[in-house]
Structure 1
Amino acid sequence: MNLAVVLVSPKTPGNIGSAARAMLNMGARDLRLVAPRCDHLDSQAVAMAVHAEGLLREARVYPTLRDALADRDVSVGTSARIRADLSPPRHPAQVRPLVRAASAPALVFGPEETGLVNSDLEQCQVTVRVPTGDYASLNLAQAVLLVCYEFLQAEDETPEYHRKTATREEMEAMYGHLHGTMRLIGYTDAVRARHTLRLWRALLDRSLMSSAESRLFRGLLRQVEWKVGDAARRGTAESRGAAGEADGATGD
């Protein structure tokens, strides 16, 4: 499976190295770092990676999570907390069939101190939580090891079908388009827009759109925009015509 592990703003080299080792243990090799706060090739990182040093050196660094997920078709966030307006986290085993049926899935982990923030989780189609005892705090490498195990090594039934879904870049572009269209037609305003778009994200992400379906949806949005613009142009033309008639009547 082409599973990418994405670490958002990791703080310490040792945690990155340990996470790389956990990935290699479970058979994952695509490490992506988003705005890291340390050098991922620091000697501490290399020491903690042990035999995963090669994986560290091949890691790609991105400025934003959106960039890191651009070529992925399914993205899975990790969180131990329930967030307002976002679907509650699920057990990794429940998400396993979705991940295994994907062509290019990604597993996203947040900073050590805070985890993923809401704006990060919005870019993930589903969120998972590692079940623990009363003490729920896991270090980064432990979390990477456990979730990678569930997705890559745990036994499961073979998915009934494989479906190529749209990349996250295609979906994010569609959501940006949707946001603009909603504002254009007065469906929402600046105050409610973020909450409203979260609800639409949750609904549309569950559909696992293909690239063609995302283009189809954007075609509808373009038609709405054209119709609004056409109505505005017609209204302007009619206003000018009425003004002209009024001027003629005055001239008589």
Structure 2
Amino acid sequence: MNLAVVLVSPKTPGNIGAAARAMLNMGASDLRIVAPRCDYLDAQAVAMAVHAADLLRGARLYPTLREALADRDVTVGTSARLRADLPAPRHPAQVRPLVRAAAAPALVFGPEETGLINSDLEQCQVTVRVPTAEYASLNLAQAVLLVCYEFLQAQDEPPAYDRKTATREEMEAMYGHLHETMQLIGYTDAVRARHTLRLWRALLDRALMSSAESRLFRGFLRQVQWKVEDAARKLPGEAGPERQADREA
């Protein structure tokens, strides 16, 4: 499976190395690190990686999560908390068919102290939570090991469906286009826009759009924008040819 593990702003070299080792244990090899706050090739990281040192050295660095997810078609965030305006986390086993059917899935893990923030989880189509006892906070490498195990140990299971979904870059571009259109037609304003867009993201991410479907939706948005702008040009008071001639007379 072409599974990427994305670590967002990790703080401790040892955690990064241990996460790489957990990936190797479970058969994942694509490590992506977003804005690390330490040297991910520090001696402690390499020591904790053990036999996964080559996997660690091959990690790719990205300045933003959006760039790290640009080529992924299904993105799974991790969280131990419920968030307002965001879908509740699901058990990893419930998400396994979705990940198995994807061509390029990604698992996203947040910083050690805080986990993923809301703006990170907005970029994920689904969120999972590892079931634990009352104390739910897991070490970063533990979380990587458990979630990778849930998805990669089921490799022999047939996927529930076979469908190539749009990349996250295509979906993010579509959401940017949707945001512009909502403001253009007065559907929302600057104060409510983020909350409203979260609701639309949740709805449209559940649809698992293909690339063609995301382009179809953006074509609809372009037509709406054109219609509004065309109507604005035709409003009374606009200087059309006849009205301009009347003024000059």
TM-score calculated relative to the size of structure 1: 0.94
Q: In structure 1, give the amino acid aligned to 2:45.
A: A
Cα offset, 1:158, TM superposition: 1.5
**Aligned twin of 2:173:** 173
Q: In structure 2, give the amino acid aligned to 1:193.
A: A
Matches within 5 A, 1:29-178: 29-154=29-154, 157-178=157-178
1:25-81 per-residue CA deviation (whole Å, 9 max, x = no partner) reads 000000000000011111000000000001001100000000000000000000000
**Aligned twin of 2:224:** 224
Contact 2:33–2:61, Cα closer than 8 Å, also in 1: yes
Cα distance in 1 between the residues matched to 2:96 and 2:156: 8
Contact 2:46–2:56, Cα closer than 8 Å, also in 1: yes
1:104-130 per-residue CA deviation (whole Å, 9 max, x = no partner) reads 000000000000000000000000000
DSSP-derived class of the 2:7 partner: strand
Identify the range of structure 1 (150-159 vs 31-40) with the bigger mean alpha-carbon deviation: 150-159
Q: In structure 2, give the amino acid aligned to 1:232.
A: A
Q: In structure 1, give the amino acid aligned to 2:180.
A: G
**Aligned twin of 2:207:** 207
Q: In structure 2, give the amino acid aligned to 1:129.
A: R
DSSP-derived class of the 1:113 partner: coil
Cα offset, 1:160, TM superposition: 3.3
Contact 2:97–2:160, Cα closer than 8 Å, also in 1: no
Cα offset, 1:156, TM superposition: 7.3
State the number of aligned residues.
248
TM-score calculated relative to the size of structure 2: 0.96
Cα offset, 1:154, TM superposition: 4.0
Q: In structure 2, give the amino acid aligned to 1:234.
A: K
DSSP-derived class of the 1:164 partner: coil
Cα distance in 2 between the residues matched to 1:236 and 1:166: 43
Cα distance in 1 between the residues matched to 2:119 and 2:194: 10
**Aligned twin of 1:25:** 25
DSSP-derived class of the 1:14 partner: helix
DSSP-derived class of the 1:7 partner: strand
Q: In structure 2, give the amino acid aligned to 1:59.
A: A
Cα distance in 2 between the residues matched to 1:60 and 1:207: 30
Q: Does 1:7 align with 2:13?
A: no
Contact 2:100–2:155, Cα closer than 8 Å, also in 1: no
Cα distance in 1 between the residues matched to 2:223 and 2:193: 21
1:184-231 per-residue CA deviation (whole Å, 9 max, x = no partner) reads 010000000000000000000000000000000000011111111111
Q: Give the % identical residues.
A: 83
- The structure that has the greater radius of gyration is 1
Cα distance in 2 between the residues matched to 1:221 and 1:155: 39
DSSP-derived class of the 1:141 partner: helix
Gaps of 5+ in 1: none
1:134-162 per-residue CA deviation (whole Å, 9 max, x = no partner) reads 22121000000000000001477422321
Q: In structure 2, give the amino acid aligned to 1:19.
A: A
Cα distance in 2 between the residues matched to 1:134 and 1:232: 58
Q: In structure 1, give the amino acid aligned to 2:51.
A: H
Cα offset, 1:235, TM superposition: 1.8
